[in-house]
Structure 1
Amino acid sequence: MTERQRLLPGEVAHQDFEAGYIALSYAVSYIGSVTTLELLNRRTGNRGWYNWSLLVASAISMGSIAIWGMHFIGNRAIILDYGVESHQLIYNSSFTALSFFLPIVVLLTAYMFIGTSEDVSIVRVSVGGTTAGLAIVLMHYLGQFGITNYTSVYKIPFVVGSVIIAILASNVALLIFFVSRSRWAGTWWKRIGCSFVLAGAVSGMHWLATVGTNYRLRNAALPKSTLDRKQTVIVVGTLCVFTCTCLLAYAIIAGTRARQMVTKVRKVTLSAVMFDPDGRLMVSTSGTLPTEVITDTLNSLLDQEFSKEHPVFLWFYRVSRSWTGVKDIVSGMQKHLRHIDLKKIGTEEQSELNIVFRELLCVAAKKLSEQLRLPMENLGALHDDILHTSSNSRSRVNTPVGPSDIERLRKISSSGRGQTLFVYREVTRDEAARLQSHGYRFASVKVATDVVARSLQVPRDVLTEHFKDMRDASQIESILEPGVHIGCFACRANIDGGFDVLVQKLQPNLVPSVQLPVSTLTDELKQIIQSLHGMTLRSVSRTLEMKQNSASGFERSCIGEIRSAVRALTKAYPDTFWQDAVFSSIPVSMPCRSGNEEVEHATAQMFVFRTIVPIHQRELSDGIRIAPFDFFTTQQRTFSTSRDHEVFARQIHTEFSGLSERYTLPPSSSGIPARLRALFGMSGRPSTAEKTLVENPFANIMISQAVDVHSAKTSMEIHELDTLRTTGAAVVVREVEEPTWAEEYFHLLMSKPRSP
């Protein structure tokens, strides 16, 4: 090289570019961008170390990899002065470090401003996108300022163009990302597309600015602390390798979770459905419901007979409405289950199988509450239906199954059908904020249902109906208002066995009824109602009309109120079979909503028309539907004001106390030496009761018995079941629950008809 060709201080260096490093710089920017969006996608709120760690990590990923790393790898592609090694770009360490941290701080501010709300604010996203774009520009020119052996000469049009590209592309990428995220449409390929745009913002700005930049050689000695081109590539390359490793680890974990979810939908599971006060549904960052597996060993059996009529489901339905009765003994259940081989459970008796499954249900509920970091009593109530999951599900068979059929049923389980039970409730705003800080999101039910339906492999419309029912039930308890009511109680034989009861369509735990416009019964109303005893609804309507025409004054007003209520009842439920329903003048006391907090157990009074619906009567009016009788009677014991919660809790503790004591308490004589035991006549041999308990772990378990409404004896033909009140008899240490009003009226229907 001649003296004339050598670059002199003050001269502008000739520029060339290496295509390989240009491509590498874009790849580095893309890796940082896709990592950033993935981390932002997993944020669920502004509280908690989980969300703050994701926020900081996303700012670091974007600032250090996508922007800082891309800049220095990109500048490595610049070849100055025809490749003379001593004339290539060299950077000052202090400015290089400052250019690393400054965009991270700016981006952290931008992402905090955007927030995590499911309702996308165009203004907030635009401000955040503009700030992110300015962070890209700031880092670029700060890094350029750290070049020690050249002075950068900029062309103003290219500077302005690079700023516009950085801001515009950043806004487009973030807007697309957050809009798709809010609609739960942010699938992996959409995040990849947004990452391409975001990386394009960084690369586009960089290369437009680079083309508009000339480098003039300085007449100054180089500082001792500098980073040459090789060192720059090593530092940036190390950061990129670390990021790639993190992405690979995340991909493996995500794939494992996806496979686990596919496996879960083929088992019996318990999922939590939580609504915030605005009606939004809580899901994980991947769009699934918090779920715990109850069992897979018993799936073949449960797939055949487990339904809302099963005694175990009815038991768990009551437990979920009074978790305090079982939360203290779950640890004993867990220890008991560890001593049971579930693979051989089919060889046990059916009663023992039900006990084990009840324990599995309670343990799954406990694990679910721990997953949500909520007390077990705040887990929510069990939904009154079971969702059958997995797309290759077969038709359900309701044929009862005995223990001898278990092996045959286990062979059927390969079809992959699963069942999901739901517990639901509406959380407070403080609880919603805490759940968000633990990594959960609240999205609108409409947009979240698609993702949840895919994860459960069920039709969207089926899941939508379940969510609607649970949302309605979580807002306000379905219970009678205080006062006097007139209702209809009707049963119909089920072709598969047993009986169904007709209930309100929107409030299936209540029979069709209307409320009288009075708070209490007056003597005049009592006399009028008693005069209608034993009449059919058709006769009652005619009698009231005649009495109202002949009465006067206050009596006429009372008759009019009763007549209006009867007409409203027949108008709301215009089925013809109600006309033959027989009226009872004996009021039924039912739980009701208490207007006074000091009233522990409130009741309402209802006068009932009762009838048996012909089995061939299949069409019903829009306001009513059928429900299994056993399930309906269980619902009558689960109102918040019911006295049965206390009795039920004592029954649970009595039934499972043997398990709890055996597996939670140490042996009483474990701390006494053998010689002392022999001295005081304390034998080391177990007693007969202890030996029985060791040989049979179910020896100290008291099996609960359901009331058989088909065979119970009654004396109602004389005094209407003694005004529909019975006295519970104590059986040793166990308290027996009184029959519900529905069971009493069922007996009345099954008894011989009486003449008016």
Structure 2
Amino acid sequence: MERPVLLPGDIAHQEIQAQYVALSYAVSYIGSVTTLELLHRRTGSRGWYNWSLLVGSAISMGSIAIWGMHFIGNRAIILDYGVDSHQLMYNSSFTALSFFLPIIVLLSAYMFIGTNEDVSKTRVSIGGTTAGLAVVLMHYLGQFGISNYTSVYKIAFVVGSVIIALAASNVALLIFFVSRAQWAGTFWKRICCGFVLAGAVSGMHWLATVGTSYRLRNAELPKSTLDRKQTVIVVGSLCVFTCTCLLAYAAILGAKTRQMISKVRKVTISAVVFDPEGRLMVTTSGSLPTEVITDTLNSLLDQEFTKEHPVFLWFYRVSHSWAGVKDFVSGMQQHLRTTDIKKLGAEDQSALNLLFREMLCVAAKKLSEQLRQPLEQLGFLYDEILHTNIGPRRQILAPIEGSDVEKLRKVTNGKGQTLFVYRQVTKEDVARLQSHGYRFASPKVTIEVVARSLQLNKDELMEHLRSMRESTLAESILEPGIHIGCFAARANIEGGFDVLVQNLQPNLIPCVQLPVRSLNDDTKAVMQSLQGLSMTNVLRALEIKLAACSANQRPFLEDMRVTVLALRKAYPDTFWLDSIFSSTPVYMPCRTANVEVEQSTAQMFLFRIVVPIHQRELSDGIRIAPFDFFNAQQRTFSTSRDHEVLARQIHSEFSGFTERNLRSPKPALLSQKLRGILWPLSKRPTTAERTLVDNPFANIMISQAVDVHSAKTSLDVHELDTLQVAGAAVVVREVEEPTWAEEYFHLLMSKPRSP
């Protein structure tokens, strides 16, 4: 049977090839998944990172998922029984316009939706509706660009195609953004959303195609036309490029996942950053910014790394005064590069501890660079070390001989440890961090992803995050005035001593402030009369004094009695009743607006007691803390002068590394003999200059800003060896005085503990 001749004005016979239908859906799906992945990676509305993702998502959706799908789909339409000259041809101008129009519309839609973690259904609906309209506009603009046929539409199919585009786009974007905000938007969920979004484009296209007929035109074809083979080549090239990018991205993502798993088997440091609303900063994959400190901890330490370890105590203090170490990190880094740890034995533990301190500082510096902020703004070190859940459980070893020190190095083998530095940032910092690719979300919705990435228990990590958040709100420090407190020490079955501290403010002992600003001679006499009495007897003595006192004495006696009762009520442990009162005040740091004020201390009168080692149950208001760590905390208050002391100690210990690095010769391009000929004699260094270059100690080192008026400062002057040069180096070193906790602990251990 011969085919009828197609004349201008006739409706062409139409067939559909199934393989191109499937191919068009695949093209749309690739573009949709790419779009959702790029939108998932957005963290804010500022910065080239977020803008590149925004533009990329609009291009992938507009050019591939919509435009590419349309022209691949139209390739499935066979007109006039397959006559080559009667197949669809396109006007190049309208084809180009149909390419850019959906990209522009989608760009505005995604900008309107935004990146907030709190999903606005109204904004998502408006954005989804705009995206659906972009699909419809591109389709009919592309149809309008057909050069050799006029499209004839059925109204019912046009309306139906619009409804499908709008409904499916809204559903896909709503599911995507809700799952993203709940941090349930794993990759497989984005794949499912991609099916729905691609269905919106394909469903709209094919319903409209079924309701479209093509009438052959009379006019001649314009010169600038594209046939269907050319359009397939263009679309195919775009899809191949997109698939390549997706595969590369998947490989990078897999590598990052493996890298994170590898990290948690090592000793790492992670940044915990909160915004003013308490939201937690995470990467787009839901993990905390993390840097590796070392994977050779067992070859560095001869004891388990805990919060009582001297290196941890040192690093804890450094984190409260980063300015003292920032200038020496580069020297530390160079020293680590040039040191072979394997050559250091167990007898070189002081050298190993120094290397580990350098590793901590270098990792902190790398973490600050990862966040693109100065080291001084990195935050404070958290007072707990968390162990990852992977690897075998920690071994319990029996006592071993000194010759078996290497066995002790395996205490933490196979188990990672994580340190945290925490801080709260301003709204300006939040915007800056978002522009660098970080997101802020509620810890409740991100905790599962964060805990999984760190291999930590979710509930345990949540408690630590809550503690860090509370610590960022205000410094835990005494208010100026008179305080009544309790100092209790208890022997630790593993060695050393613990102290009892406040549960919510673990750097403070249990105490209550007395509503008196200062003491006069009469009130001091009252305090002296209570010397050596137990808490029970103090309350009884105050009651007796109240019954026989004058009107002038009554207010202070009543305040003192109420304060002791408040202390007893806040910490209802029975052993406090036997604690002994000391009438000698202890001076402690307190909150003040001016750190230069000499009287920036609070007076505290203490009840003291040694708690029996078998006393295990404590009230909710207190907990135990290692004495060494608690003592280190007393040097980290913002008003403490010990920050200056630590800075001078760091300078004395590490400045040599920095100086040697600055003096380290660079590879010479010319031989020494040739440089001697070319270099003018006038520019050659003198003997004295060579001495200064060759010897780092051939100068006078003087510590800066030494306060000779401070009662807490003592200066020792040491004369160093000449180190093969004629001269001496004088080092002025500031020595730290014992803290109040050290002095009172020794007093508690040395004096009788009964009246």
Same fold (TM over 0.5): yes
Give per-residue Cα distances to partners, 1:275-330, cap 9 Å, x unaligned. 00000000000001001111112246559510000000000000000000000111
Question: CA offset at residue 554 of structure 1?
Answer: 2.1
Question: CA offset at residue 648 of structure 1?
Answer: 0.9
Corresponding position of 1:146: 145
Deviates more, 1:217-226 or 1:436-445: 217-226
Secondary structure of the corresponding residue to residue 553 of structure 2: helix
Secondary structure of the corresponding residue to residue 276 of structure 2: coil
Corresponding position of 2:370: 371
Corresponding position of 2:588: 590
The letter for the 1-side match of 2:480 is P
Corresponding position of 2:81: 82
Q: Is the 8 A contact 2:530 2:581 kept in 1?
A: yes
* Residues 269, 345 of structure 1: alpha-carbon distance in 2 compared, 3 angstrom cutoff: farther
Q: Is the 8 A contact 2:388 2:418 kept in 1?
A: yes
CA distance in 2 between partners of 1:463 and 1:555 (Å): 52
Q: Is the 8 A contact 2:302 2:349 kept in 1?
A: no
CA distance in 2 between partners of 1:446 and 1:342 (Å): 42
Q: How does 1:413-424 map to 2 (within 5 A)?
A: 416-424=414-422
Q: 1:607 aligns with which of 605, 608, 616?
A: 605
Give per-residue Cα distances to partners, 1:69-117, cap 9 Å, x unaligned. 0000000001111111111110000000000000000000000000000
**Does residue 251 in structure 1 map to residue 240 in structure 2?**
no
Q: How does 1:740-755 map to 2 (within 5 A)?
A: 740-753=739-752
Secondary structure of the corresponding residue to residue 392 of structure 1: coil
CA distance in 2 between partners of 1:19 and 1:342 (Å): 67
Question: CA offset at residue 15 of structure 1?
Answer: 1.1
Deviates more, 1:239-248 or 1:300-309: 300-309
CA distance in 2 between partners of 1:98 and 1:256 (Å): 40
CA distance in 1 between partners of 2:130 and 2:425 (Å): 35
Secondary structure of the corresponding residue to residue 625 of structure 1: strand
Question: CA offset at residue 572 of structure 1?
Answer: 0.8
Corresponding position of 1:552: 550
CA distance in 2 between partners of 1:451 and 1:23 (Å): 36
* Residues 303, 16 of structure 1: alpha-carbon distance in 2 compared, 3 angstrom cutoff: farther
Secondary structure of the corresponding residue to residue 735 of structure 2: coil
User: Normalising by the residue count of structure 1, what TM-score does the alignment of the two structures yield?
Assistant: 0.91
* Residues 222, 342 of structure 1: alpha-carbon distance in 2 compared, 3 angstrom cutoff: farther
Q: Is the 8 A contact 1:535 1:583 kept in 2?
A: yes
Corresponding position of 1:628: 626
Q: 1:483 aligns with which of 481, 484, 487?
A: 481
Question: CA offset at residue 395 of structure 1?
Answer: 2.9
Q: Is the 8 A contact 2:301 2:349 kept in 1?
A: no
Corresponding position of 1:640: 638
Corresponding position of 2:534: 536
Q: How does 1:46-125 map to 2 (within 5 A)?
A: 46-125=45-124
CA distance in 1 between partners of 2:345 and 2:222 (Å): 80
Deviates more, 1:216-225 or 1:43-52: 216-225
**Does residue 235 in structure 1 map to residue 226 in structure 2?**
no
Secondary structure of the corresponding residue to residue 553 of structure 1: coil
RMSD: 2.8
Question: CA offset at residue 530 of structure 1?
Answer: 1.7
* Residues 370, 645 of structure 1: alpha-carbon distance in 2 compared, 3 angstrom cutoff: same
Corresponding position of 2:649: 651
CA distance in 1 between partners of 2:395 and 2:543 (Å): 50
Q: Is the 8 A contact 1:610 1:745 kept in 2?
A: no
Give per-residue Cα distances to partners, 1:511-537, cap 9 Å, x unaligned. 000001122223332221121122221
CA distance in 2 between partners of 1:188 and 1:648 (Å): 48
CA distance in 1 between partners of 2:378 and 2:519 (Å): 40
* Residues 96, 525 of structure 1: alpha-carbon distance in 2 compared, 3 angstrom cutoff: same
Give per-residue Cα distances to partners, 1:170-227, cap 9 Å, x unaligned. 0100000000000111101100000000000000000011111111111111111111
* Residues 471, 195 of structure 1: alpha-carbon distance in 2 compared, 3 angstrom cutoff: same
Question: CA offset at residue 27 of structure 1?
Answer: 0.2
Corresponding position of 2:716: 730
* Residues 14, 566 of structure 1: alpha-carbon distance in 2 compared, 3 angstrom cutoff: same
Q: Is the 8 A contact 1:601 1:643 kept in 2?
A: no
Q: 1:457 aligns with which of 449, 455, 458?
A: 455
What is the percent sequence identity of the aligned residues?
Answer: 72
* Residues 360, 559 of structure 1: alpha-carbon distance in 2 compared, 3 angstrom cutoff: same
CA distance in 2 between partners of 1:401 and 1:320 (Å): 35
CA distance in 2 between partners of 1:294 and 1:401 (Å): 28
* Residues 602, 727 of structure 1: alpha-carbon distance in 2 compared, 3 angstrom cutoff: closer
Secondary structure of the corresponding residue to residue 56 of structure 1: helix
CA distance in 2 between partners of 1:475 and 1:75 (Å): 61
* Residues 330, 596 of structure 1: alpha-carbon distance in 2 compared, 3 angstrom cutoff: closer
Deviates more, 1:41-50 or 1:299-308: 299-308
Corresponding position of 2:438: 440
Q: How does 1:195-214 map to 2 (within 5 A)?
A: 195-214=194-213
Q: How does 1:475-514 map to 2 (within 5 A)?
A: 475-514=473-512
Corresponding position of 1:179: 178
Q: Is the 8 A contact 2:447 2:462 kept in 1?
A: yes
How many residues get paired? 724
* Residues 554, 667 of structure 1: alpha-carbon distance in 2 compared, 3 angstrom cutoff: farther
Secondary structure of the corresponding residue to residue 734 of structure 1: strand
Secondary structure of the corresponding residue to residue 734 of structure 2: coil
The letter for the 2-side match of 1:11 is D
Question: CA offset at residue 545 of structure 1?
Answer: 0.7
Question: CA offset at residue 240 of structure 1?
Answer: 0.2
CA distance in 2 between partners of 1:684 and 1:585 (Å): 61
CA distance in 2 between partners of 1:22 and 1:406 (Å): 71
Q: Is the 8 A contact 2:390 2:416 kept in 1?
A: no
CA distance in 2 between partners of 1:390 and 1:432 (Å): 31
The letter for the 1-side match of 2:379 is G
Corresponding position of 1:222: 221
Q: How does 1:281-320 map to 2 (within 5 A)?
A: 281-299=280-298, 305-320=304-319
Q: Is the 8 A contact 1:591 1:601 kept in 2?
A: no
| Residue ranges of structure 1 left out of the alignment (5+ in a row) | 694-699, 702-724
Corresponding position of 1:618: 616
CA distance in 2 between partners of 1:620 and 1:553 (Å): 40
Q: Is the 8 A contact 1:501 1:627 kept in 2?
A: yes
Q: Is the 8 A contact 1:11 1:217 kept in 2?
A: yes
CA distance in 2 between partners of 1:691 and 1:229 (Å): 77
